[in-house]
Structure 1
């Protein structure tokens, strides 16, 4: 009799342990593993932002040429030649330093054989080793221009647009019109105001009204 009772007790303990273990397994299965989407819903999509500014805006063309003394001679296509004016600022890099010169002349007529226009750029009082040089030549400069960083502007869908950051840390898509651009900025004709905050990082997954989590950028 005692043996039977002992066996029953052992059986009950074992059954209870299986029941508890099963409950633990079921509880683990019910746990929700955080995903990118659940994190975004709770804390907002992490983004970098930037501000719309007013500043001097320059456009440049890159021209390659060979030097003879302190002058560099190059040939450019007609489309480039029309943008370059005598007196325009030019710069080159030599020994990790920037050297500045100016355009002396731009031939009005293209060479009959090559179809290119010759230009001469002077770096007066500079001793230039004989070499092939890459020049940045300024084609235009405007002051007090409304600009926004290139990475803030998206053209997905064929229309230039940005995502404005609202006071409640939600975003709103806004179409803009640009005038020109260089390697760093877009010059803005309409659609933005000075001081407005816009999303700088990847905008592919953003939508109107979406909550964002602003991450400070070390590049700003």
Structure 2
């Protein structure tokens, strides 16, 4: 009957519970369907969400609703605007960072799930000590960050530092260094505290 035909036809239509883009088709016509496997994968791309790792020193400066600038590595020269929608209260013990969730409208649909992006939050102006990324030695296992500080007698000392914001290949130093101290930026893997070095300018 026509009613039975209509019911069968209705069962051949797949409806997504969300608006989005089909990012995977797992079956072709004639394939045997397994109940545990989705036929299509649909992802929402407007808006998109970004998880940002924020240092413990900066976490208290971030609030829900703060404006965020987002730049994706795959889209050089393009800037997207977002806002903080959630702050997660649990700190990652290894990196000493908190996750902050940012939502970007993405009305142009240029951003796609899985893209690597960088986020900038305005936390006010502060006077900080900054060092090049190349100066930082990351200890495996402990997660500690070290720098080698140059003494007046040309020897070096390994110093544990707490790092804050990262920008333009530089780290903000929260604790562990004083203004004016010099750090080694090359060959640190060969050094230990007390070693004497030759300064090359």
Query: What's the TM-score bracket when you normalise by the shorter of the two chains?
Result: 0.3 to 0.5
Q: Could you say which structure has the greater relative contact order, defined with CA pairs below 8 angstroms and 6 or more residues apart?
A: 1
Q: TM-score by structure 1 length?
A: 0.43
The structure number with the bigger radius of gyration is 1
Could you say which structure has the higher helix fraction? 1
Q: TM-score by structure 2 length?
A: 0.46
